[in-house]
Structure 1
Amino acid sequence: MADLFDALDDGMAGQADAPAKNAPLADRLRPRHFADVIGQQHLLGEDGALRVMLESGRLSSIIFWGPPGVGKTTLAKLLADETEMEFVQISAIFSGVADLKKVFEAAKLRRQTGRGTVLFVDEIHRFNKAQQDGFLPHMEDGTIVLVGATTENPSFELNAAVMSRSQVMVLERLTLADLELMAQRAEQLVQRALPLTADAREAVLEMADGDGRALINILEQCFAWDAKEKVGRDGLSKRLSRRAPKYDKSGEEHYNLISALHKSVRGSDPDAAVYWLCRMLDGGEDPRFLARRITRMAVEDIGLADPQAQAVCLQSWQTYERLGSPEGELALAQAVIYLALAPKSNGAYKAYKEARRAAQKTGSEPPPKHIRNAPTKLMKDEGYGVGYAYDHDAEDGFSGQNYFPDGMKHGVYYVPVDRGFERELKKRTEYFAKLRTSRNRDG
């Protein structure tokens, strides 16, 4: 039994002695108490969910959801220390069913001795449904307290059963103030100021992009420089390569950013719209996907208030196809700016949806006979085309006949807004509505 515990817990134990001076900076800076944690005060501050849970004396299973480098592993370790439970860490990337069975068996044996287990599962969303189901009985009987960590939206990636037995806690990316505090702690620990000018120091914090782990790695490089003078922003760019922005083209961040772009256009903010466009391009998004989505914005949110908008989008798409990146991306930016400043209308979009619903509801109703073609004698004998009024021969070029199925009320689906070109279309619809009423009354 002792051998089993030793094999499983090697390198996985909870709070250890302070790391040696030659240990990586990340280990030396890792908080030893909750009071040392930087950021996440919405969880750890007064009335914070994690603080309330600890003060209640009962630790339940948790899913930590947040971007990389914001303290998910650290919080899990501190939870185990605070509750005097064994801390066991596995990664869903490298662990399989056999590994889980060993962990659960060790936790059962440990429980018999009166010691609980905090099982920290990094990247828990990587486990498939069957593997996630394997946690349930051990969570329910108290063998383990599951603390999962994920960068993906758990409502999409985790089983409903696991979610229902856990409390989801959202961790936020670290602010520049948080990162500055982390840099100051590193300087105190190393007993040396960073060899950076104020401008370069700010650039380093921005380069970390809310990721504490990334910042520590950058700081460790900076401390290793043998610089006689402080390094400025230009020198920094030569010594350090800028991190690629965190962006998953198939994950939630993809949908978050395209939503931000679309809503910025709809909200007539060209500056925000171009910003989100550049965020997606810098993240490696396919410009063709963006061209398609930008065209959709023209159809959905500008519509007939500016019929030219669709043409601008299609031309920008075509221009990108001819020029490629990066020159062609400017055409997409121009289209985004045009759409943001264009008059907005979803009148045609709403008309389409309303008409679609009506068509699905009355899908078997035939057209009235007077507007049916009559290419055969039988059709003519059945009255097809009889009574059709040729609109060009009518007064004002408008007959006012009914074109809906017999017995179906004339629908009103398209309601133009009083903006842009639709002002003119509104006048036309009102004009034809009055004529239709007049002709039908006179008829």
Structure 2
Amino acid sequence: MSDLFASPQDESDYEDGGSRPLADQLRPRSLDEVIGQAHLLGPDGSLSRMLASGRLGSLILWGPPGTGKTTVARLLADRIDYRFEQISAVFSGVADLKKAFERARFERRSGRSTLLFVDEIHRFNRAQQDGFLPVMEDGTVVLVGATTENPSFELNAALMSRSQVLRFQSLAIEDLDQLARRAEELTGAQLPLELEARQTLLTLADGDGRALLGLVEEVLASVREGEVLDAPGLLSVVQRRAPIYDKAQDGHYNLISALHKTVRGSDPDAALYYFARMLDAGEDPLFIARRLIRMAVEDIGLADPQALPQAVAARDAYQMLGSPEGELALAQAVVYLASAPKSNAVYTAFKGAMSVAKSSGSPTPPFVILNAPTKLMKSEGYGEGYIYDHDTPEGFSGQEYFPEAIGRQDFYKPVERGFERELRKRLDYFDRLRASKREGTED
């Protein structure tokens, strides 16, 4: 496996550049030294194929922080001998873009192409994003944008259609370990960590190479001579990196989707894991509570009629107790819902009924079930022939209640799981009674 950052020449590199962050000193010097993105830069990777063809189109590099997006953009320009220009959407406006485009046009007249790297490109508004289109189309620049946000949500369709999206992945533990060894080689110092503590350090980086090197620097600067830290000792020295989670963006939606699907998939252990991930990242527990209530009615329904009361009670318990005590009530609801028998029969029936209601107009219900509070309505036949169900031996009249214009519908189909198995028997019984009463009436 190749290296994420450059191999140090010797320890003097570190001594001479001691004021420079490790991430800067270990920056890769060629694409061959980049680690962790083999699906892009390996022999069969997308970028490797693109470079082999001799053609580089505009790109959107999408992925978490510290995975090499900026470095790869710079090295791409070096590989194809393009002038590299970098701007940040956080600090740049329309005037800065115009100046960058003018410089690119000037260089193009001199025979040199420009790779324009735009960091945090999703921060530009729609109109600013449209400003890239003419210079992309006429070849003034090859645009390479970097974003941590899902480009399908954040970038114009026109910009997306002119670019290829490349997904950068978080660095694996083995990649981070190799990076830590490169840092040790450069500094000439072994990390004073027990094996478990070293694994904890790698985990704390959360797939971010730049964050790992910051943690390495923190450890080397903080530990006394001769001291070797265990895992708890490490956590007392370094600042824990916050999990990647933006409550308005991908992290939020990815984890709530994972929680919902693991509950639906009857895996309480996985559901608890994603529930804990969301709490750890700072998600509002009441948002989770609302989603649990939704899961109870969408995915469990009447297969377990206690699922909804459990979810509602967990929300109420959290509101009463607050955090962290109330979180246990939510955890109990997560386990209960994941363990419950599943049915979406009510959910499906409701969607079917809504579809018919929207498409069938406003047919009048059968007169037999309409009240007749006035003489005129009674003379028109309102309520005539209605059978009071409690007056029948079975407590069931079997009368037809759907409007004649649409006829009888069959929306609710209980599954053979949990309590709905009993409901299926009950509804089958009513169907048989309805049929026999209809036959008796016809006779």
TM-score category by the smaller chain?
A: over 0.9
Unaligned regions of 5+ residues in structure 1, if any? 1-16
Counterpart Cα distance in 1 of 2:220 and 2:128: 43
Name the structure 2 match of 1:389.
387
The 8 Å contact of residues 116 and 143 in structure 2, kept in 1 or not, is answered as yes
Q: Deviations over 1:59-79 (max 9, x none)?
A: 110000101110000100000
Counterpart Cα distance in 2 of 1:224 and 1:317: 46
Counterpart Cα distance in 2 of 1:222 and 1:241: 10
Unaligned regions of 5+ residues in structure 2, if any? 1-8
Name the structure 2 match of 1:6.
none
Name the structure 2 match of 1:362.
360
Counterpart Cα distance in 1 of 2:115 and 2:329: 53
The alpha-carbon deviation at position 395 of structure 1 amounts to 3.1
Secondary structure at 1:73 match in 2: helix
Name the structure 2 match of 1:380.
378
The 8 Å contact of residues 80 and 87 in structure 1, kept in 2 or not, is answered as yes
Of 159, 166, 179, the match for 2:156: 159
The 8 Å contact of residues 195 and 227 in structure 1, kept in 2 or not, is answered as no
Q: Deviations over 1:200-231 (max 9, x none)?
A: 11111000000111001111122224431222
Counterpart Cα distance in 1 of 2:207 and 2:372: 71
Secondary structure at 1:64 match in 2: strand
The 8 Å contact of residues 119 and 145 in structure 1, kept in 2 or not, is answered as yes
Q: Deviations over 1:142-197 (max 9, x none)?
A: 11110000111101100011001000000011110110011111112222211212
Name the structure 2 match of 1:283.
281
Q: Deviations over 1:321-365 (max 9, x none)?
A: 010001101100000000010111111111111111111111311
The alpha-carbon deviation at position 94 of structure 1 amounts to 0.7
Name the structure 2 match of 1:270.
268
Name the structure 2 match of 1:21.
17
Of 288, 293, 296, the match for 1:295: 293
1:99 aligned partner, one-letter code: D
Q: Deviations over 1:106-164 (max 9, x none)?
A: 11101111111111111100100000000000011111110000111101100011001
The alpha-carbon deviation at position 391 of structure 1 amounts to 1.2
Of 110, 113, 118, the match for 1:116: 113
Name the structure 1 match of 2:96.
99
Counterpart Cα distance in 2 of 1:200 and 1:21: 28
Name the structure 2 match of 1:58.
55
Of 199, 205, 216, the match for 1:208: 205
2:322 aligned partner, one-letter code: G
The 8 Å contact of residues 219 and 238 in structure 2, kept in 1 or not, is answered as no
Counterpart Cα distance in 2 of 1:290 and 1:66: 26
The alpha-carbon deviation at position 46 of structure 1 amounts to 1.8
Counterpart Cα distance in 2 of 1:359 and 1:142: 55
Counterpart Cα distance in 2 of 1:351 and 1:161: 40
2:164 aligned partner, one-letter code: Q
Counterpart Cα distance in 2 of 1:114 and 1:27: 31
Secondary structure at 1:109 match in 2: helix
Correspondence 1:19-418 to 2 at 5 A: 21-22=17-18, 23-225=20-222, 226-418=224-416
Counterpart Cα distance in 1 of 2:433 and 2:233: 74
Counterpart Cα distance in 1 of 2:157 and 2:299: 35
Q: Deviations over 1:65-106 (max 9, x none)?
A: 101110000100000100111111111111000110111111
2:246 aligned partner, one-letter code: D
The 8 Å contact of residues 389 and 399 in structure 1, kept in 2 or not, is answered as yes
Taking only aligned residues, the RMSD between alpha carbons, in angstroms, comes to 1.3
- TM-score, length-normalised on structure 1? 0.94
The 8 Å contact of residues 246 and 252 in structure 2, kept in 1 or not, is answered as yes
The alpha-carbon deviation at position 33 of structure 1 amounts to 0.9
The 8 Å contact of residues 84 and 117 in structure 2, kept in 1 or not, is answered as yes
Of 433, 436, 439, the match for 1:435: 433
The alpha-carbon deviation at position 407 of structure 1 amounts to 3.4
Secondary structure at 2:325 match in 1: coil
The 8 Å contact of residues 132 and 162 in structure 1, kept in 2 or not, is answered as yes
Counterpart Cα distance in 2 of 1:175 and 1:51: 21
Q: Deviations over 1:288-347 (max 9, x none)?
A: 111110011001111001101111111111110010001101100000000010111111
1:102 aligned partner, one-letter code: K
Q: Identity of aligned pairs, percent?
A: 62
The 8 Å contact of residues 281 and 287 in structure 1, kept in 2 or not, is answered as yes
Query: How many aligned residue pairs are there?
Result: 427
Secondary structure at 1:396 match in 2: coil
The alpha-carbon deviation at position 411 of structure 1 amounts to 0.6
Secondary structure at 1:395 match in 2: coil
Name the structure 2 match of 1:419.
417
